[in-house]
Amino acid sequence: MNTETTPYDIVIIGGGPAGATAAMYTSRSGLKTVVIDKGLTTGALGITNKIANYPGVTELSGAELLTKMRNQAKYFGAEFVSDRIIGVDLQSEQKSAFGNNGVYIGKAMIIATGSLGRGKQIKGEREYLGRGVSYCATCDGAFFKNQDVLVAGNNDEAVEEALFLTNFASQVHFVSPTNSINAPERLISELLEKGNVHMYSEAKLKEIRGNGKVDRAIISHAGNKDKSLAIDGAFIYLQGGRPITDFLQGQLSVSDTGCLIVDREYQTAIPNVYAVGDVICNHVKQVIIAAGEGAVAAMSAEKALRGRRKAIVDWAK
């Protein structure tokens, strides 16, 4: 896929309920749409065990509900790509999102990245970034051939990246902050079957140490004494509670609480750039609210791109 020569109409960053709903509306209206997302369980809905208050839906898991939303968007033609966005260009007429695996260009962009970002880094994380600390195994995994690495996280992104690393590393230490891992069973089973994987559940990555480059990690494991692991690389996929906006690199202003600021149509201060879901302020954190915001932003973007003064109500046809 050459995203630079065949740009999209709409680029959506984030595939949760807001992003998936926006994709359904934009693709249904005939706009070429791509959704870039890190994985099914990297967002708040994907890790929710049970949803019982979404209209028309009886009890099911967040991942099941989100899968239905994504499949509906795909039915109308939306494309979903698994990638991590590390930067954007919002100032040009064409909006660009730069991922580890490619560049995604569109006439409009909808930001729906949620609020599981980390406000506080691990001790030593920033110091050794690029010198053993990485956020992308598919980018840097080959540099750790026959070496020992650590993966910290408990979602499908972390599991998939750990699986990739098993092809290169001698040992992969998988450190999960929870007892269970929020990923599809098939992925977890595949990881557990690997002979070079060591699992640490209910474990906390406390510190990354080194001498010019990473040489060890300190973890606390299930209430035991701190454990020192000799490693050559640390791949971090942990989640927090802050709006995820770091990839914007200051191109959009944020509120005191770190939220993006939008107007009544969910457009930011930059024309044709919208933000929806948990990444914005004054947002009630419910799936139905995020989905509604995604629909409004999608119709607003469609109106703007086609030069209309009013959005067309999207009733069933």
**Domain CATH number, residue 158:** 3.50.50.60
Q: What residues contact 222, with CB distance under 8 A and at least 6 apart?
A: 201, 202, 203
Best CA proximity match to 111, nearest among 282, 257, 248, 283: 248
pTM listed for this prediction: 0.76
Q: Please indicate, yes or no, whether residues 278 and 291 belong to a single structural domain of this protein.
A: yes
**101 belongs to a structural domain:** yes
For a pLDDT cut of 90, what percent of the chain falls above it? 65
Radius of gyration of the chain (CA): 20
pLDDT band (50, 70, 90) for residue 71: very high
Q: Please indicate, yes or no, whether residues 181 and 266 belong to a single structural domain of this protein.
A: no
**1 belongs to a structural domain:** no
**123 belongs to a structural domain:** no
**110 belongs to a structural domain:** yes
As a whole number, mean pLDDT of residues 129-144 equals 87
Q: Please indicate, yes or no, whether residues 256 and 274 belong to a single structural domain of this protein.
A: yes
Q: Please indicate, yes or no, whether residues 63 and 90 belong to a single structural domain of this protein.
A: yes
Q: Please indicate, yes or no, whether residues 224 and 168 belong to a single structural domain of this protein.
A: yes
Q: Please indicate, yes or no, whether residues 140 and 77 belong to a single structural domain of this protein.
A: no
**77 belongs to a structural domain:** yes
Q: Please indicate, yes or no, whether residues 112 and 143 belong to a single structural domain of this protein.
A: no
How many domains, the chain?
Answer: 2
- Which active-site residues does the annotation give? 136, 139-140
Task: State the burial class of residue 64 (Cβ atoms within 10 Å of its Cβ: 0-12, 13-18, 19+).
Answer: middle
Measured between alpha carbons, how far is 181 from 47 in angstroms, rounded to an integer?
Answer: 9
**314 belongs to a structural domain:** no
Measured between alpha carbons, how far is 238 from 84 in angstroms, rounded to an integer?
Answer: 14
Measured between alpha carbons, how far is 222 from 204 in angstroms, rounded to an integer?
Answer: 8
Q: Please indicate, yes or no, whether residues 24 and 56 belong to a single structural domain of this protein.
A: yes
* DSSP-based three-state secondary structure for 246: helix
Q: 16 lies in which domain range?
A: 8-117+242-305
Pairing of strands 103-111, 79-82: unpaired
Choosing from 213, 237, 261, the residue where a domain stops is 237
pLDDT tens-digit profile of 234-245?
999 887 778 889
pLDDT band (50, 70, 90) for residue 315: low
pLDDT band (50, 70, 90) for residue 311: low
**267 belongs to a structural domain:** yes
Measured between alpha carbons, how far is 33 from 39 in angstroms, rounded to an integer?
Answer: 18
Q: Please indicate, yes or no, whether residues 257 and 109 belong to a single structural domain of this protein.
A: yes
Q: Please indicate, yes or no, whether residues 138 and 210 belong to a single structural domain of this protein.
A: yes
As a whole number, mean pLDDT of residues 116-123 equals 80
pLDDT the model gives residue 242: 80
As a whole number, mean pLDDT of residues 50-76 equals 88
**315 belongs to a structural domain:** no
pLDDT band (50, 70, 90) for residue 6: low
Q: What residues contact 313, with CB distance under 8 A and at least 6 apart?
A: none
Q: What residues contact 217, with CB distance under 8 A and at least 6 apart?
A: 150, 173, 175, 205, 207, 208, 209, 228, 229, 231, 234
Tell me how far apart the terminal alpha carbons of the chain are, to the nearest angstrom.
Answer: 32
Q: Please indicate, yes or no, whether residues 80 and 22 belong to a single structural domain of this protein.
A: yes
As a whole number, mean pLDDT of residues 99-112 equals 95
Q: Please indicate, yes or no, whether residues 40 and 102 belong to a single structural domain of this protein.
A: yes
